[in-house]
């Protein structure tokens, strides 16, 4: 067991120390031990004393050291020249020029001409996330974009319609359930998404060991599906399958009527609406035989406990909100909502929901995007309309963008359109650890810290924890070069334009009086006043960040299980009942029913896959992580390959209405007939040093369409899965 900062050796003038910290790449937040020698990070290993991860860390977490110490790491502010090259500038000069240019934009066009985009890593930094939202609110700008409209927003909208709040999101009670029914999730590779707790694979094995079942619904026999039961569904066929399951539950009177009556309204209407979705009538749409659907419905309803859980694959099809809504509905009607072994609602040790409400993030459709009139989701607008927002003249036109740890050119549909539009901005600023396909267009790239160089606690993951857990980490090394923490850079940019970055009007007023609060002070106070806090000395043994660091450097488990009986408090509709038949559901059912079954010009449907050794659009530049991977192949079923005269390793062109990519073919019966599968996040044309080579690969987003007409209408979510394509061999002579 280490102290927070344990000095191992001071021989020969050198200082070697080991420090407990944790990984901030994905939800498990695995504990790590960082070895630091003379101020340099020299080794990372899993922390066996972390009470949650207990010595586990995946290759990405360990491999993060190569990203941190990469010779290509951006260490100084860089200013783009007219010829596209970058030259080093001082922070002072960069901030002064940024300030002047922002002030000019504000004077000519108003503060709402300035927007932000933040990528997934921002959600893992308590300070950066809070400050970027605060900056947008202080500007009063609607231009708040994030990777959420590529992976999560349909989930939030479904919760808003179902419970009344986008913040009411359940997690699957993996440690107690008898039946896990999982859509579009591959936790053996992802380690869990919107559910936080390591050793997910052990948790799934334990379900089977105690006589339960794990059923994986996916168009691909994923790494998870191989280990358990696989239900092969067509890409974007999930809504049809879930509706047929619900139909069966109601038709065979398998529902838990008491559970519904107690907390929900609209059950009779819902029954009418799902009546047409007989398994025998929809099996050709979802690809799952009617007998199997009926059997699954009976098993789900009769299990001692069961939980339906869906993640990214379930969120990013053409009917993502509908799918998420139906998952919650199945949990409710089978009597598995808010009960041990079902779908449960963690209570965080810090009132994160209260904080999010205070930040104005619990909203839906309180305003519409200028382009396409699409609803905001928790304050954010669809990233798929950013290019049009930049290019369409008129009041509110987007003229300056600050990108935080993001690479939207490789993350949003038709990223090449966004890349071109970004060149038309008056100002593009990026805070990042390296050069990427987005910020190579930036006027300034400002060097940000890696997570080893900043303090943190797992703020965004607290509502998704299977075991309530807190850890506070100090930076384990000082920032390399001139890198700075993102929140301090945002603070300094805001100071240049005389605004205080906070979502709270009171804090902004205090700031204008010269009293500026830092993130550590704010969240330490929230912890100390929360259920486990020390109440500023009034409660012996209570927590503060200082006590966490000193007494629990490896973190502390606060509760072993998620409490139940909280559902009533989580329903925020005016009548305090779950709404089972909102008009938006009717609208989506009509849209689903009207969707064409096939398109002869584009007979296949493409869907994405997650990879073990990279995440989204980053880490692909790490040779260590990429070594041994199969690369970004295009998986296709042998029947389709035969028909198209394609063989393993052949080069093929995949074409949709929006664009095309080329990829090597991998013939495999892991994918369902009628589909092709490509990983997401490839297509880099620059490497981290900004050279034009990059690691390349097929840019999945070239197949997907941007613009208001191309998104899922309730959430403005980019439609990434189920896009119709055709595949053609490319002649060898080319």
Q: x/- string (CB under 6 A) for ligand SF4, residues 153-192?
A: --------------------------------------x-
Count how many Cα atoms sit within 13 Å of the Cα of residue 59 in the half-sphere of its side chain.
17
- Of the pair 61, 415, the CB lying nearest ligand SF4 is at 61
- 56 SS3 class: coil
HSE toward the beta carbon, residue 533, CA cutoff 13 A: 17
Spell out the alpha helix ranges (H) of 474-606: 486-496, 505-512, 519-529, 545-551, 567-570, 583-594
Interface of this chain with ligand SF4, residues 386 to 425, rule: CB under 6 A? none
The CB-of-409 to ligand SF4 minimum distance in angstroms stands at: 23
Q: Does 23 bind ligand SF4 (CB under 6 A)?
A: yes
Q: Site for ligand SF4 (CB under 6 A): which residue of 17, 19, 28, 361?
A: 28
Name the one residue in this structure whose structure tokens are 């993951």. Answer: 461
Q: Please say whether the beta carbons of 408 and 418 come within 8 A.
A: yes
Q: What is the distance between the alpha carbons of residues 584 and 324, in angstroms, rounded to a whole number? A: 13
Of 355, 394, 401, the closest CA to residue 139 belongs to 401
- Which residue in the shown chain puts its C-beta closest to ligand SF4? 61
Number of residues that this document lists for the chain: 734
Question: How many residues of this chain interact with ligand SF4, rule: CB under 6 A?
Answer: 11
479 and 568 in contact (C-beta within 8 Å)? no
Of 30, 113, 665, 667, the one binding ligand SF4 (CB under 6 A) is 30
Nearer to ligand SF4 among residue 182 and residue 446 (C-beta): 182
Which one of 24-32, 232-240, 416-424, 453-461 is the stretch in contact with ligand SF4 (CB under 6 A)? 24-32
Paired tokens of 506? 């009171």
CB of 610 or CB of 724, closer to ligand SF4: 610
> Of the ranges 18-26, 75-83, 259-267, 622-630, which one interacts with ligand SF4 (CB under 6 A)?
18-26
**How far is residue 399's CA from residue 525's CA, in Å, rounded to a whole number?**
37
**29 near ligand SF4 (CB under 6 A):** yes
**Residue with Cβ nearer ligand SF4 (119 or 413):** 119
Interface of this chain with ligand SF4, residues 286 to 315, rule: CB under 6 A = none
* CA separation for the pair 499, 494 (Å, rounded): 5
Give which of 33, 30, 32 is closest to 53, Cα–Cα: 30
Nearest-approach distance from CB 472 to ligand SF4, in angstroms = 17
Residues 673 to 732 in contact with ligand SF4, rule: CB under 6 A = none
Task: From residue 464, give the alpha-carbon distance in Å to each of 140, 149, 167, 349, 468.
Answer: 30, 19, 11, 12, 9
Q: Which is nearer to ligand SF4, 101 or 191 (CB)?
A: 191
589 binds ligand SF4 (CB under 6 A): no
Vertex 125: Cα angle to 423 and 541 (nearest 5): 170
Q: How far is the CB of 106 from ligand SF4 (least distance, A)?
A: 39
* Residue from the set 25, 203, 297, 719 that interacts with ligand SF4 by CB under 6 A: 25
The smaller minimum CB distance to ligand SF4, of residues 201 and 573, is found at 201
> Which of the residues 41 through 70 are near ligand SF4 (CB under 6 A)?
57-58, 60-61
Residue 214's DSSP bridge partners are 180
Question: CA angle 117-123-124, nearest 5°?
Answer: 135
CA quadruple 610, 614, 615, 618: dihedral sign: negative
Q: Compute the distance between CA of residue 279 and CA of residue 258 in angstroms, rounded to an integer.
A: 25
Query: Among residues 109 and 467, whose Cβ is nearest to ligand SF4?
Result: 467
Q: Supply the angle between the helices 279-286 and 290-302 in degrees, to the nearest 10.
A: 110
Q: Which is nearer to ligand SF4, 188 or 330 (CB)?
A: 188
Q: How far is the CB of 120 from ligand SF4 (least distance, A)?
A: 12
Nearer of residues 191 and 440 to ligand SF4, judged by Cβ: 191
Q: Which residues bind ligand SF4 (CB under 6 A)?
A: 23, 25-26, 28-30, 57-58, 60-61, 191
């Amino acid at each position: 067991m280490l102290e927070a900062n344990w000095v191992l050796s001071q021989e020969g003038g050198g200082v070697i120390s080991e420090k407990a910290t944790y990984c901030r790449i994905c939800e498990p937040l695995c504990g790590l031990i960082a070895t630091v020698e003379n101020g340099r990070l020299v080794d990372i290993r899993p922390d066996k004393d972390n009470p949650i991860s207990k010595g586990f860390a995946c290759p990405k977490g360990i491999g993060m050291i190569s990203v941190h110490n990469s010779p290509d790491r951006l260490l100084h502010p860089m200013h783009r020249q007219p010829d596209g090259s970058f030259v080093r500038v001082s922070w002072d000069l960069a901030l002064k020029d940024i300030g002047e240019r922002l002030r000019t934009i504000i004077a000519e066009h108003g503060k709402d001409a300035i927007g932000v985009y933040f990528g997934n890593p921002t959600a893992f930094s308590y300070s950066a996330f809070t400050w970027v939202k605060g900056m947008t609110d202080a500007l009063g700008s609607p231009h708040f974009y994030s990777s959420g409209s590529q992976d999560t927003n349909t989930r939030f909208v479904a919760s808003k319609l179902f419970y009344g709040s986008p913040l009411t999101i359940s997690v699957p009670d993996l440690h107690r359930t008898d039946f896990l029914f999982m859509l579009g999730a591959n936790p053996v590779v992802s380690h869990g998404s919107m559910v936080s707790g390591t050793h997910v694979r052990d948790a799934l094995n334990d379900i089977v060991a105690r006589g339960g079942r794990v059923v994986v619904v996916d168009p691909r026999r994923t790494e998870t599906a191989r280990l358990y039961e696989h239900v092969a569904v067509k890409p974007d066929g999930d809504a049809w399958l879930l509706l047929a399951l619900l139909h069966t539950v109601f038709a065979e009177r398998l529902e838990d009527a008491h559970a519904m009556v107690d907390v929900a309204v609209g059950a009779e209407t819902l029954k009418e609406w799902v009546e047409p979705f007989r398994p025998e009538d929809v099996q050709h749409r979802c690809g799952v035989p009617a007998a199997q659907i009926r059997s699954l419905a009976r098993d789900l309803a009769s299990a001692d406990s069961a939980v339906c859980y869906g993640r990214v694959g379930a969120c990013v099809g053409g009917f993502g909100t509908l799918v998420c809504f139906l998952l919650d509905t199945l949990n409710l009607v089978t009597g598995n909502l808010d009960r041990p072994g079902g779908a449960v609602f963690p209570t965080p040790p810090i009132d994160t929901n209260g904080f999010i409400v205070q930040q104005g993030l619990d909203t839906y459709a309180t305003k519409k995007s200028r382009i396409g009139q699409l609803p905001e989701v928790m304050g954010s607008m669809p990233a798929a309309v950013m290019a049009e927002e930049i290019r369409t003249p008129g009041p509110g036109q987007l003229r300056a963008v600050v990108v935080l740890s993001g690479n939207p050119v490789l993350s949003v549909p038709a990223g090449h359109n966004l890349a071109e539009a970004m060149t038309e901005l008056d100002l593009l600023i990026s805070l990042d650890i390296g050069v990427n396909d987005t910020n190579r267009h930036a006027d300034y790239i400002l060097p940000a810290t890696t997570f080893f160089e900043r303090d943190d606690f797992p703020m965004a993951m607290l509502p998704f924890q299977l075991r309530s857990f807190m850890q506070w980490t100090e930076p384990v090394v000082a920032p390399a070069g001139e890198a700075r923490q993102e929140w301090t850079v945002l603070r300094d940019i805001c100071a240049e334009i005389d605004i205080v970055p906070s979502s709270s009007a009171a804090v902004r007023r205090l700031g204008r009086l010269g009293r500026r609060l830092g993130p550590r002070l704010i969240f330490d106070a929230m912890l100390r006043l929360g259920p486990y806090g020390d109440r500023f000395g009034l409660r012996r043994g209570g927590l503060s960040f200082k006590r966490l660091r000193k007494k629990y450097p490896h973190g502390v488990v606060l509760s072993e299980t998620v409490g139940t009986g909280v559902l009533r408090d989580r329903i925020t509709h005016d009548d305090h009942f779950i709404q089972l038949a909102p008009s938006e559901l009717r609208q989506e059912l009509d849209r689903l029913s009207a969707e064409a079954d096939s398109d002869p010009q584009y007979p296949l449907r493409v869907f994405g896959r997650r990879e073990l050794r990279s995440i989204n659009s980053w880490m692909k530049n790490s040779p260590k992580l990429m070594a041994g991977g199969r690369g970004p192949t295009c998986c296709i079923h042998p029947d389709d390959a035969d028909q198209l005269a394609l063989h393993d390793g052949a080069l093929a062109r995949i074409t949709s209405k929006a664009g095309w990519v080329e990829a090597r073919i991998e013939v495999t019966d892991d994918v369902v007939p009628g589909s092709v599968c490509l990983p997401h996040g490839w297509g880099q044309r620059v490497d981290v040093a900004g050279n034009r080579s990059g690691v390349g690969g097929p840019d999945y987003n070239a197949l997907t369409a941007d613009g208001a007409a191309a998104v899922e209408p309730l959430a403005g979510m980019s439609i990434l899965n189920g896009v119709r394509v055709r595949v053609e061999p490319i002649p060898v002579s080319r």
